[in-house]
């Protein structure tokens, strides 16, 4: 991997225009020639945070194409070009971003500012469906609105340092956006406080450890957050069905980009309905085109949570 990256970047330095001319997809990662701050983010939540902070003062590129499965992403040559040519590179860290270290060691942009978002929050370890803590950090830090506020503050501090001329704009945008995040956080807290029950059931992976930790919610699930498994054991499915029946759980959740099959099986053997609960890791092409945001997705989650807890 490192050898490939070194050779590739040497090629880029010799004939950059040739390389850039191949970046002609809808989500092209080439930058236009202007004086704006150039920022690259790996996943949708950080892309959305940055565009709220910087508005029209920065040019922002999202590496993970809308509609793509986040956990299987690998950088393309044009993605590496984008990182080489940007001012700020923002990535999450964790298992899905294991490729980042090799790329950063190979690029020649010595002025690049690199922000690893897992450094800005208190990290929790993954847990099994039985809630046993493992050794791997849970990377889904953005599912917490409180973490989101910390991350937004951290990003703003760095872009203000790099682009001091627009500091007042960035700080004003930060304050307005954090106010919206905090307001939504309070709505989740109020919903949970008055709820009939305090448990969420997922017939799917569970990337919401930070979310339930914020509101002291319990959960049952088929897989941990970064599991590569797609078929749970009969024992796990039976346990979830028995739990949903015994506790009269009204909703079984599934994730975006999931076929929802496990949740549907549980639903068919109980009185529960199925609903999507978005991790906001990525969005569909249609959602991206329609201007969906992190906050709009979390508001949908709030409505789904109300159905599950009341």
Determine, yes or no, domain membership for 88: yes
Pair (14, 119) in one structural domain = yes
Determine, yes or no, domain membership for 191: no
Pair (37, 172) in one structural domain = yes
Determine, yes or no, domain membership for 122: yes
Q: Which residues pair with 274 in a beta bridge?
A: 252
The separation between CA 197 and the C-alpha centre of its own chain, rounded to angstroms, equals: 27
**Residue that is last in its domain, among 151, 166, 185:** 185
**pLDDT score of 18:** 34
Pair (119, 170) in one structural domain = yes
Identify the three-state secondary structure at position 115. Answer: strand
Pair (29, 125) in one structural domain = yes
d(CA 310, CA 303): 11
Pair (179, 279) in one structural domain = no
**pLDDT score of 224:** 75
CATH of the domain at 264: 3.40.50.1980
Query: What backbone torsions phi and psi does residue 199 show, to the nearest 5 degrees?
Result: -135, 145
Pair (227, 119) in one structural domain = no
Determine, yes or no, domain membership for 268: yes
**pLDDT score of 131:** 85
Q: How many domains does the chain have?
A: 2
* Residues 244, 247, 250, 253, Cα dihedral to 10°: -40
**pLDDT score of 233:** 87
DSSP class of 117:
G
Two tokens, residue 7:
């050779």
Determine, yes or no, domain membership for 300: yes
**pLDDT score of 209:** 97
Pair (252, 114) in one structural domain = no
Determine, yes or no, domain membership for 190: no
Pair (181, 202) in one structural domain = no
Determine, yes or no, domain membership for 46: yes
**Residue that is last in its domain, among 185, 218, 245:** 185
**pLDDT score of 197:** 97
Pair (161, 203) in one structural domain = no
Pair (221, 268) in one structural domain = yes
Determine, yes or no, domain membership for 35: yes
Q: Give the length of the chain.
A: 310
**pLDDT score of 223:** 87
Pair (224, 274) in one structural domain = yes
Pair (243, 290) in one structural domain = yes
Identify the three-state secondary structure at position 86. Answer: coil
**Residue that is last in its domain, among 126, 158, 185:** 185
Question: Contact 192/214 with Cβ under 8 angstroms?
Answer: no
**pLDDT score of 27:** 45
Domain hosting 136: range is 2-185
**pLDDT score of 286:** 97
**Over its length of 310 residues, how does the chain's per-residue pLDDT go in tens digits?**
444 444 444 444 433 333 333 333 334 455 765 789 999 999 999 999 999 999 999 999 999 999 998 888 999 999 999 999 999 999 999 988 999 999 999 999 999 999 999 999 999 999 888 888 888 899 999 999 999 999 999 999 999 999 999 999 999 999 999 999 999 999 999 999 999 999 999 999 999 999 999 999 999 999 876 666 667 889 999 999 999 999 999 999 999 999 999 999 999 999 999 999 999 999 999 999 999 999 999 999 999 999 999 9
């Amino acid at each position: 991997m490192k050898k490939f990256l070194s050779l590739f970047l040497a090629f880029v330095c010799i004939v950059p225009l040739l390389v850039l001319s191949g970046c002609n997809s809808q989500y092209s990662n080439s930058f236009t020639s202007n004086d704006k701050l150039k920022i690259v983010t790996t996943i949708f939540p950080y892309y959305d945070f940055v565009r709220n902070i910087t508005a029209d003062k920065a040019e922002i590129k999202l590496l993970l194409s809308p509609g793509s499965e986040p956990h299987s992403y690998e950088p393309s040559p044009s993605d590496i070009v984008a990182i080489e040519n940007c001012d700020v590179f923002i990535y999450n860290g964790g298992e899905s971003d294991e490729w980042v270290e090799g790329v950063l060691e190979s690029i020649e942009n010595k002025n690049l500012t690199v922000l690893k978002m897992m450094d800005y929050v208190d990290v929790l370890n993954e847990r099994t469906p039985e809630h046993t803590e493992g050794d791997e950090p849970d990377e889904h830090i953005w599912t917490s609105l409180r973490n989101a506020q910390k991350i937004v503050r951290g990003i703003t501090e760095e872009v203000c340092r790099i682009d001091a001329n627009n500091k007042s704009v960035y700080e004003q945008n930060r304050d307005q956006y954090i106010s919206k995040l905090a307001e939504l956080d309070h709505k989740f807290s109020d919903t949970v406080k008055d709820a009939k029950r305090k448990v969420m059931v997922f017939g799917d992976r569970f990337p919401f450890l930070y979310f339930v930790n914020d509101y002291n919610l319990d959960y049952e699930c088929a897989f941990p957050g970064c599991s590569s498994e797609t078929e749970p054991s009969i024992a796990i499915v039976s346990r979830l069905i028995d739990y949903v029946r015994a506790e009269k759980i009204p909703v079984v959740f599934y994730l975006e980009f999931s076929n929802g099959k496990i949740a549907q099986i549980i639903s068919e053997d109980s009185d529960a309905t199925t609903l999507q609960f978005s991790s906001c890791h990525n969005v569909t092409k249609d959602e991206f085109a329609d201007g969906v945001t992190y906050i709009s997705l979390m508001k949908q989650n709030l409505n789904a949570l109300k159905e599950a807890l009341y």
